Amino acid sequence: MNGAVDVPPAATHRAPILLAPDPGPRLQALERQKLVVQDLRVCYRGLPALQGVSFSADVGQITAIIGSSGCGKSSCLLALNRLAELVPGSGVAGRVLLDGVDVLQPSTNLTTLRRRIGMVFQKPTPFPLSIERNIAFPLREHGVRGPEIAARVRRALVAVGLWSEVKDRLRSSALALSGGQQQRLCIARAIALEPEVLLLDEPTSSLDPAAAQRVEALLSELKTSYAIVVVTHNLHQARRIADRTAFFTLEDGVGTLVELDDTARIFAGARDPRTRDYVEGRFG
């Protein structure tokens, strides 16, 4: 497994769909990507839940992960910032390279890793604190001090378009915000830590259409600064915002990546018949 990057043929063998017929230059490009996932496998209590997942994500792109329920999309996301290991009996194998360094190594500093890879969940999870403290206290825990905190709180709220809505009530409870505002606060909380990768697990599925649209627009704005990976159930959403789309499916009860391509290709000319069936609504 080690040396997959150094020895191109091996990597080609592992992820056939991902790589162009000539693996040489493509692999070098891959190496420069912000996040590279190689042969990721996740199991719970010894039972495989996800296997054979290889893909990459880079700054300037939104990568969408689509697929029916239970095909390991969320497990994949949770493995990338090592949240999956919070689940008792879980196991993660393979390689997750962040700037070329494997974060699955035991020596990885999890605090730093999770600062560099931010995550937003399906259900908005504002903390029972004021709007300001929701963003400020994680900053403080990460060693940010002084006026820099207020500056970052403001910058993050401006970035998610919340500043004008909440600037007069920064000290009131975040729980009083609407669902869409709460979700944007959660995104602000993540980007205030200045991460490099942003993972979002169905970020709009608990929001009303208008709020969902705002979050989508926000993600399109944010992609210039972050490598964004978003899991979504909503095919239209993937089509609207994603530059590249990965299709996951269940194979013999185990989730796997079928193909990853430019979003337009996935929806208009997917190579794999299973992908075509799924995006045309024949199953899932």
Among 8, 91, 138, 179, binds another protein (CB under 8 A): 138
Among 142, 154, 265, 274, binds another protein (CB under 8 A): 142
Q: Which residues contact 247 (CB under 8 A, 6 or more apart)?
A: 66, 67, 257, 258, 259, 260, 266, 270, 272, 274, 275, 278, 279
Pick 142 or 274: Cβ nearer another protein: 142
Q: Is 205 helix (H, G, I), strand (E, B) or coil?
A: coil
59-98 binders of another protein (CB under 8 A): 81, 83, 86, 88
Pick 83 or 160: Cβ nearer another protein: 83
Quick note: the x/- pattern for another protein over 182-211, rule CB under 8 A, is: ----x--xx--x------------------
Q: Which residues contact 73 (CB under 8 A, 6 or more apart)?
A: 65, 66, 67, 201, 231, 248, 255
Q: Is 95 helix (H, G, I), strand (E, B) or coil?
A: strand
Q: How far is the CB of 91 from another protein (least distance, A)?
A: 18
How many residues bind another protein (CB under 8 A)? The answer is 29
Please report whether residue 121 would count as binding another protein according to CB under 8 A.
yes
Query: What are the b/e assignments for 204-226, b being 16+ CB within 10 Å?
Result: bebbeeebbebbbebbeebbeeb
Q: Which residues bind another protein (CB under 8 A)?
A: 81, 83, 86, 88, 110-115, 118-119, 121, 123, 125, 127-129, 133, 137-138, 141-142, 173, 175, 186, 189-190, 193
